[in-house]
Amino acid sequence: MRGEILQMLREEPGSYVSGEEVSRRLAVSRTAIWKHIRALKQDGYDIEAHPRLGYRLCRAPDLLLPAEIEARLTTRRLGRAVAYFRRLESTNNEAKALAAAGCPEGQIVVAEEQSVGRGRLARGWFSPFARGVWFSIVLRPPFNPQDAPKCTLLAAVAVCRAIRRAAGVDCGIKWPNDILFDGKKLVGILTEMSAEMDAINHIVIGIGINVNIGADDFPPELRSLATSLSIAAGRPLSRLDILLAALEELEQVYGQTLDQGFAPVLDEWRRGSLTLGRAVDVIGSGRRFSGVAVDIDADGALLVRTDTGTERVLAGDVSIRPAEGGASY
């Protein structure tokens, strides 16, 4: 009902829509309309009410509300079901619970703020209120379980496309799950799976995009490591634009993968990679070694050439070594 009221107000930008007209078109009482208008105001919508003229939408809040997403979403599957929270411990945890309960493919969980946002290797993710895009998406692909790690690469390709399109920022991908600008982290991606021996039940992809976080807003320990789209672009950006672009590109890349397999995704990932051709340090599985990242294989594993041969890296912490001094990232 509230979405329908908003749509009517949007159809008459800058003009009043009478309560009688809203009541007639929606077949509910004017008292019911007033209650919904009051609830919309509590959500942050600036709606002007005039006793004789009706209601006018003056401004929508800078929040990723389901009604705002629905009004502009062009995808067929992804984002058509939205679970919205002002504050949540982790969008991935909520999405996993919804997936286990049978939610549709394409369900997203959006939070304005995460109190326990997570990245890979149990690392935290700084997720302040209404300053970024923090969301998770549920997929139910017909892939083999061993293909699940490649969904992280798929998401990275899609989000890079979205950032270039919606923000004009030329970013790159650090294997396996980070998107960087000028050597600093813009985006983190966390993929988690529920599967049987030979079939995937669901995959949850969590994506955190730093949008309008100022340089001084990051905790001191992150200022040399993280950045935001507004810093990179030199201007504030619409978080809704970024989210919608991400969903649209994810649907396009996911659909392409279902039709053609992962080869096109891996090729595009290679073109956008900041890791390949660089000296790297690898820590994982109880060992540590250094070498040059030369490629990814058909499974998405990183191939690192060392003095003793080529190592295949499926998981672990990979740092790109700086060319001359400075901190690795």
**Distance from C-alpha of 17 to C-alpha of 5, rounded to nearest angstrom:** 10
* 191 annotated ligand-binding residue: no
Q: What is the DSSP string of 26-67?
A: HTS-HHHHHHHHHHHHHTT-EEEEETTTEEEEEE--SS--HH
Residues 6 or more apart whose CB falls under 8 angstroms from that of 183 comprise 329
> Scanning the structure block, which residue is given the tokens 């392409």?
256
Given a contact cutoff of 8 angstroms between Cβ atoms, the answer to whether 279 and 292 are in contact is yes
> Does residue 256 have a known ligand-binding role?
no
**291 is annotated as contributing to ligand binding:** no
- Answer yes or no: is 92 a known binding residue: yes
Answer yes or no: are the C-beta atoms of 116 and 190 closer than 8 Å.
Answer: no
The DSSP line for 59-126 is E--SS--HHHHHHH---SSTTSSEEEEEEES-HHHHHHHHHHTTPPTT-EEEEEEESS-B-GGG-B--
Strand order in 302-306's β-sheet? 309-313, 302-306, 287-296, 279-284, 317-320
Tokens coding 138:
């549920």
Residue 114 is assigned to a ligand binding site: yes
Sign of the four-CA dihedral 269, 270, 275, 281? positive
- 10 is an annotated ligand-binding site residue: no
Which residue numbers belong to the known binding site?
A: 90-92, 114, 118-120, 185
Which residue numbers belong to the known binding site for biotin?
A: 90-92, 114, 118-120, 185
